[in-house]
Amino acid sequence: MSTHPVTLDRPTPRPRAAHLHTARHMVRGHLRLIGWFAVIALVVITVAILTRFAFGQPQESMAQFGRQALVWFPFSIAIGAVSSYLPVHVASGMTRRSYTAGVLLGTAVLTAGFAAGAAVVLLLERGVYQVAGWSHGISEWDPLYRSVTQVHLVLADHVALTGTAMVAGLLVGTTYYRYGPWVGTLSLPLTVGPLVVVLWVLPYLGAEHGWTVTQHLLATAAIIAALAGVFAVLIRDITVSTRS
């Protein structure tokens, strides 16, 4: 009789569901980290609001400035997903194809979660401001939304940003894993560049040329698709590092 009973999930049927298997574990495996991120974010936003209040009545959202955190934190998660999940996936008898599909699916789920979380935090903050009688303004120039009541635009904005960040993170992680630190670092302009474009160039072009939200989102989707395509090509024949 085992003194350390190992309670396991019901095995997932293979191989059709291999990508779902890795996607599910990727999401579940990051929940604790994301929980800590959420707690820290709420504390920081609360402290920011109180600090602002000390100097007078707040007129703008503090949570809106968390957009950068919702880019670079998921970006770092995605980088780690390559070195942590690729060897385990292949060593567990699954193909690189299913790894690519699984990680992209996991990325999509996490992106949706981050976007939904951002929308909830912004709406909660707006509720607090309303109770306090403060104005909940959006002062950043580049978001797709001008008020957090435009929930669909809030979601679209964060899906676009976080989605690009995560797929770019996968590409950065893959480049380092496949080619090593020198090529990984030297290729950063190519791997992170598209994220910079989505963050700062597209909003500028959109403002210059009067793009609609749909045009902006289509441009972002094309960039994400291109990043995902390069990621899939690099994974297709990647060697799992032999460290032992």
Q: Which residues contact another protein by CB under 8 A? A: 2-9, 11-12, 14-15, 18, 21, 25, 29, 84-85, 87-88, 90-98, 237, 239-240, 242-244
Q: Whose Cβ is closer to another protein: residue 85's or residue 134's?
A: 85
Residues whose CB is less than 8 angstroms from the CB of residue 62 and which lie 6 or more positions away in sequence, other chains included: 45, 48, 49, 52, 125
C-beta separation of 136 from 195 below 8 A: no
Q: What is the dihedral of CA 35, 99, 173, 179, to 10 degrees?
A: 160
Whether omega before 194 lies within 30 degrees of 0, making that bond cis, reads no
Least distance from C-beta 78 to another protein, angstroms?
16
Least distance from C-beta 4 to another protein, angstroms?
5
Q: Whose Cβ is closer to another protein: residue 127's or residue 229's?
A: 229
Query: Would you call 172 exposed, middle or buried from its count of C-beta atoms within 10 A (0-12, 13-18, 19+)?
Result: buried
Q: Whose Cβ is closer to another protein: residue 96's or residue 126's?
A: 96
163, 216, 223: which is closest to 193 by C-alpha? 223
Q: Whose Cβ is closer to another protein: residue 14's or residue 152's?
A: 14
Q: Whose Cβ is closer to another protein: residue 8's or residue 131's?
A: 8
The DSSP annotation for 87-112 comes to: HHHHHTT--HHHHHHHHHHHHHHHHH
Least distance from C-beta 215 to another protein, angstroms?
38
Compute the residue count for the chain: 244
Least distance from C-beta 27 to another protein, angstroms?
13
Least distance from C-beta 241 to another protein, angstroms?
8
